[in-house]
Amino acid sequence: MTTPDSNPSFFKRIPIAFGAFFSSLSDSRYAARILGLRQGDEPATAPVSAPIAPAPLRQATPDAALQLLALLQREARLIDFTQENLGAYSDADIGGASRLVHEGCAKVLREYFTLAPVRPEAEGSRVTLEAGFDASAVRLTGNVVGQAPFQGSLSHRGWRATEVRLPKLADSHDATVLAQAEVEL
């Protein structure tokens, strides 16, 4: 007897195909099961692993991001700079403005954050990433095949915020106002 789910329609198979594709890339056991099915093994002979539940997502409030953007606008005029059409300016004019934006952004980072590199080695150094390395802190690029340990060249040390000192906000503060409109009298 055939159940409705045993022969899914073409349109139901599209998300199944995409899911199988991405699961095969990220889970070698899943890929082995697919390979077994393609070679004619019975599904019952393939080992069944419990599905991995995705990590719960937390809702980020925009207030801190908006506060940082407002600080970058106040000290570096970052929003003004990025909203300006630069096509009418010479490279020298843009370079001068970029210097001011750079100095202001650096001031905000120094004043409100303590930053440290994720990796202590110098860029260009050869590094080995053992099994269990922190994939949230290190991104593999290039020809990524196989499993750890991985050996490669450190192309960017990464950055980690070790301390954040954003000013406290009053309850009545509207964080969506990044820069007040100015009216000269």
Same domain, 17 and 80: no
Instruction: Identify the domain containing residue 140 by its residue range.
Output: 63-164
**Which of 132, 115, 123 lies closest to 154 in space, CA to CA?**
123
Same domain, 83 and 25: no
**Tens-digit pLDDT profile for the chain (185 aa)?**
445 456 777 666 666 766 676 666 667 777 777 777 777 765 544 455 667 788 888 877 888 999 999 999 999 999 999 999 999 999 999 999 999 999 999 999 999 999 999 999 999 999 999 999 999 999 999 999 999 999 999 999 999 999 999 999 898 999 999 999 999 99
Same domain, 28 and 76: no
24 vs 34: CA distance, rounded Å: 8
Identify the pLDDT of residue 24: 66
What is the number of structural domains in the chain? 2
Same domain, 37 and 107: no
Same domain, 67 and 155: yes
Identify the pLDDT of residue 51: 75
Give all strands (DSSP E) within 59-158, no chain letters: 113-117, 126-129, 150-153
Same domain, 37 and 92: no
C-alpha 33: how far from chain center? 30
Same domain, 87 and 141: yes
The tens digit of pLDDT for each residue in 142-183 reads 999 999 999 999 999 999 999 999 999 898 999 999 999 999
Q: What Cα–Cα distance (Å) separates residue 177 from each residue in 137, 160, 173?
A: 33, 28, 9
Same domain, 160 and 71: yes
**Which of 73, 54, 28 lies closest to 181 in space, CA to CA?**
73
Identify the pLDDT of residue 5: 57
- pTM of this prediction? 0.63
